[in-house]
Amino acid sequence: MAYYRSTILVSMDPVCVRKGAVQLKDQLIAELKAHDLLDEVEILDTARIGDPESQGPDILVYPEGVHYVALSTDNIRPLVEEHFIKGGVMQQYSAKLRDITDDEVREPKEKEIRVILENIGKIDPRNIEEYIAVDGYQALGKVLNEMSQEDVIQTILDSKLRGRGGAGFPTGLKWKFAYGAKGSPKYMICNADEGDPGAFMNRKVLEGDPHSVIEGMLIGGYAVGANQGYIYCRAEYPIAVSTLNIAIEQARNYGLLGKNIMGSGFDFDLEVRMGAGAFVCGEETALIASIEGSRGEPRVRPPFPATKGLWGKPTNINNVETYANVPRIIHRGLEWYTSMGSEKSKGTKTFALAGDVAHTGLIEVPFGMTLREIIFDIGGGIKGGKGYKAVQTGGPMGGCLPEKYLDLEVDYETLGAAGSIMGSGGMVVMDENTCMVDIARFFMEFTQEESCGKCIPCRVGTRRILEILERICAGEGKPEDIPMLRTLCSEIIQDSLCGLGQGAPNPVVSTLKHFLDEYEAHIYEKRCPAKVCRNLISFHISEEKCTGCTVCARNCPVSAITGERKQTHVINPDFCIRCGICEQVCNFGAVEVN
């Protein structure tokens, strides 16, 4: 067996080939031969090393890990002499190597199981060969060589994979409908709109492991009989879009997209379509309208996209994470996959922890883990050791769940029964200093703005709810507001055309149910128990604690504080805007909020 002390990787990316990579490689072999180095140094092709926009073909030399660019065939003899004989690095041609480690996805905590996130930061997403090294496209090979369309659909059905976009519809069943639908051509769509604020699981997968999604769409396309797919990616993710395009191009170059894939006779190709900033375009029919070139407005269902979707043809639309699960299920098998998760939902789910929790960011756990384990064991509990108040799950249309739900085992049905949703997997943790009425108002503000306006219950109803909530937070709440809110919520949920309207009242409904006392305090006592709503709080300086150091007066943005040095300072309530800066800068804790 040969032993090589050094390996040279030559990028054979088409851009590098145009710049002379093949000639460069031949020259390298010739020079190494001339110096009697061929048994010590190995040369291998690879897909991509750096940015092909750099000059000249790229090479990477191990074990030093030196990345050389801007080489021409004239430089090769000096390079071989300098680097491989004399042992020095030719600095004028060396370039910094792209770091692939990811600081947004941390090392997993003990209770996590990483599947969808396992490759992020471990492989270079812009080099298809690294995905292939970790068994990428093996599942596709198995599917095209050994499995019929019905086999694939049955496998996904048996896996109990549920749509990760939020609704949790069994993916196998969705594919079965599209497979059985009449019409041609059929389409696969990937929903990469990820509109929930604070959710970035899909973005990480698209940026760090794009081929897992491409492979999932290929397998799905084969199963349902589609030959064309679209990835609808929000415009706010330019890196994801460019990484996807690089990955698609490489997959085409390697014969994994296009005609007669792996000699199977199956054709499939993909295109990226960008969104334009609308939250509602995460809703599948609005998304389809957007791809068609219309304004993103949802349509009545039935007919569902599986029967009549893109351009009226049978269309299967799934979330990024749903597709990313597919190759792993096929390659690693049902026994492995179904060993994780709960009775009704198998596998893992990514979550984005946000808010007042110690460790924010992405995690991945099997279904059935309790909220307590997720927030306290993995999330590290509430920041600053404060008390836990509630967690909102699923994004801006999720319900807020107080302490008594902490032992809830996270699953689609359990969250639904508790008055919340799984959604995309966002979890906003709130501590004791959160005003739940303000939270309801905050999320209603978001969903109201994103309402497309097509149906009256959502367009007008959410605006009315927002007005009422804003009045309550401003201290102008009336007793009839609470029954009015309840009526509005139930009507909007019942009568809205799409999930946005149906979900928008959820935060209001759940906070009315679990935190009614806060609403009542705002309305009847004009008091905000959490001391958040600006119109209902006032700032005072305690005589006992104030040392007259003047720090607060100097930092007040509206000059509302007066006082002599070493004398108790006073806040003028007519000027005070309740911004809270004086409380933050005071070193003696003398500022009190009532």
Partner 1 sequence: MPIINSIDDLKRLREKAQKIKKLRDQSGKTQIVVGMGTVGIAAGARETVKAIHSYIKDNKLSDIILRQTDNFGLVDQDPVVKVIMPDQNEVTYAKVAPDVAKRIMQEYIGNGNVVLEYKISE
Q: Which residues bind partner 1 (CB under 8 A)?
A: 1-3, 5-7, 9, 12, 14, 17, 39-40, 44-46, 62-65, 84-88, 123, 129-130, 132-135, 137-138, 141-142, 144-145, 253-256, 262-263
Give the tokens for residue 558. Answer: 């509206």
Taking the C-alpha atoms of residue 505 and residue 515, their distance in angstroms, rounded to an integer, is: 15
Name the minimum Å distance from CB 94 to partner 1.
14
Name the minimum Å distance from CB 251 to partner 1.
10
Name the minimum Å distance from CB 154 to partner 1.
21
Nearer to partner 1, 6 or 54 (CB): 6
Name the minimum Å distance from CB 2 to partner 1.
7
Name the minimum Å distance from CB 152 to partner 1.
16
Name the minimum Å distance from CB 142 to partner 1.
8
Nearer to partner 1, 66 or 362 (CB): 66
Name the minimum Å distance from CB 211 to partner 1.
12
- Is 254 exposed, middle or buried (CB count within 10 Å of its CB: 0-12, 13-18, 19+)? middle
Nearer to partner 1, 45 or 292 (CB): 45
In 3-state terms, what secondary structure has residue 317? strand
Nearer to partner 1, 88 or 238 (CB): 88
Distance separating the N- and C-terminal Cα atoms of the chain: 79
Name the minimum Å distance from CB 13 to partner 1.
8
Nearer to partner 1, 138 or 228 (CB): 138
Helix axes 210-224 and 138-146, enclosed angle (nearest 10)? 10
Q: Where are the alpha helices (DSSP H) in 408-515?
A: 412-417, 436-450, 456-473, 481-495, 499-503, 506-514
Q: What one-character DSSP code corresponds to residue 544?
A: T
Name the minimum Å distance from CB 534 to partner 1.
54
Taking the C-alpha atoms of residue 294 and residue 61, their distance in angstroms, rounded to an integer, is: 51
Q: What one-character DSSP code corresponds to residue 107?
A: P
484: left (phi over 0), alpha (psi -120 to 50) or beta: alpha
- Whether the ω angle into residue 507 lies within 30 degrees of 0, i.e. cis, is no
Name the minimum Å distance from CB 318 to partner 1.
24
CB 517 within 8 A of CB 530: no
Instruction: Name the E strands within 12-65.
Output: 41-46, 59-62
Long-range contacts of 301-308 (CB under 8 A, 24+ apart): 304/177, 305/189, 306/174, 306/177, 306/178, 306/181, 307/177, 307/181, 307/183, 308/183
- The alpha carbon of 170 is separated from its chain's Cα centroid by a whole number of angstroms, namely 21
Taking the C-alpha atoms of residue 528 and residue 475, their distance in angstroms, rounded to an integer, is: 9
Phi (first) and psi of residue 378, to 5 degrees = -85, -45
Would you tell me how many other CB atoms lie within 10 Å of the CB of residue 577? 12
Burial 393-412 (b: 16+ CB within 10 A, else e): bbbbbbbbbbeebbebebbb
Taking the C-alpha atoms of residue 188 and residue 217, their distance in angstroms, rounded to an integer, is: 7
Residue for token digits 């009015």? 484
Nearer to partner 1, 126 or 176 (CB): 126
Taking the C-alpha atoms of residue 240 and residue 161, their distance in angstroms, rounded to an integer, is: 25
Phi (first) and psi of residue 47, to 5 degrees = -75, -50
CB 552 within 8 A of CB 541: yes
Name the minimum Å distance from CB 506 to partner 1.
45
Nearer to partner 1, 64 or 543 (CB): 64
Q: Give me Rg for the CA atoms of the chain.
A: 29
Nearer to partner 1, 35 or 295 (CB): 35
Name the minimum Å distance from CB 137 to partner 1.
6
